[in-house]
Amino acid sequence: MRLIAVVFAVSFLLLGTSCGKFRKIEKNPDWRVKYEASLAYYAKKDYYRASVLLEQIMPVIRGLPEAERAQFNLAYCQYYQKMYLLASEQFRTFYETYGRSTLAEEGRYMYAYSLYKSSPDSNLDQTESVQAMTSMQEFLNRYPSSKFRDQALEVIFTIQARLEEKGFANARQYYKLRNYKSAIVALGNFVNNFPDSKYVEEAHFLIVASHYLLAEQSIQSKQKERYQSVVNDYIEFLDRYPNSSYLKEAERYYVNSLDKLGKLKS
């Protein structure tokens, strides 16, 4: 117990000394002292203290040679503290201000990557994801041979998969809610927007099902056209996916639709 108490006492003393030293630096009117201290804190991965000092001196050193490194470090400080939106703005400010810097390429990449880190899971609004993907594609267009190329492509592919999942979930939700007219439109848009998605086969099947179920609940004057849509969609589905696991159910909608069409003609 004595040993533990001694350890706590020493730790508390060191913490107090560290805090006291930092407070003195904060109050020092010389920006050079704060700048050098920020570099030291940054090297020690003490990003909070480094960012506090950098934010204090940025207005003072703007235009000076030290401002370039200060701006870059401040952006990373916020990134490492998981303040990704703030970090993205700092990285953008950096590459817009120091476009000729040797760090401009990394700044542009980190701007897009910070946006990506701030974007939510696929079940939430994907506005930030779209912005991140667009920014990352613009980065690759500017730096096609960048050392960050593989990471940038991975981000784009990840976001595309996320958007596919979100888009399909939204379209399928109309089907689950029995809003078949909207489901047909939404599923058709999904197929057009994501033609290579792993969900396209199921989307095509749900279009067949939605047309059939819509025809079933329609007034007689609209049934002929809608049952015919089922027939047309099924033929296209069969041509695209002859070995689909959904084929048996899709065929049932097709056969029933032919039967309905025969009765409507008689």
Helix (H, G, I), strand (E, B) or coil at 61: helix
Amino acid 18: pLDDT: 62
In a domain, 167, yes or no: no
Tokens matching residue 229: 């849509």
CB 216 within 8 A of CB 227: no
Reported as a single tens digit per residue, the pLDDT across 207-232 is: 999 999 999 999 988 999 999 999 99
Q: What is the mean pLDDT of residues 15-40?
A: 86
What's the domain range around 194? 177-266
The rounded percent of the chain whose pLDDT value lies above 90 is 82
Contacts 24+ apart (CB under 8 A), 13-21: none
- How much is the pTM? 0.78
Is 35 part of any domain? Answer: no
For 132-155, write each residue's pLDDT tens digit: 999 999 999 999 999 999 999 999
In a domain, 230, yes or no: yes
The angle subtended at Cα 64 by Cα 37 and Cα 111, nearest 5°, is 75
Beta strands in 138-204 (DSSP E): none
In a domain, 210, yes or no: yes
The answer to whether position 186 is within a domain reads yes
Average pLDDT value for residue range 181-206: 96
Domain presence at residue 14: no
Number of domains in the chain: 1
As a whole number, mean pLDDT of residues 184-202 equals 95
- Is 235 inside a domain boundary? yes
In this prediction, residue 8 carries a pLDDT of 44
CATH classification of the domain holding 229: 1.25.40.10
* Assigned domain for 47 exists: no
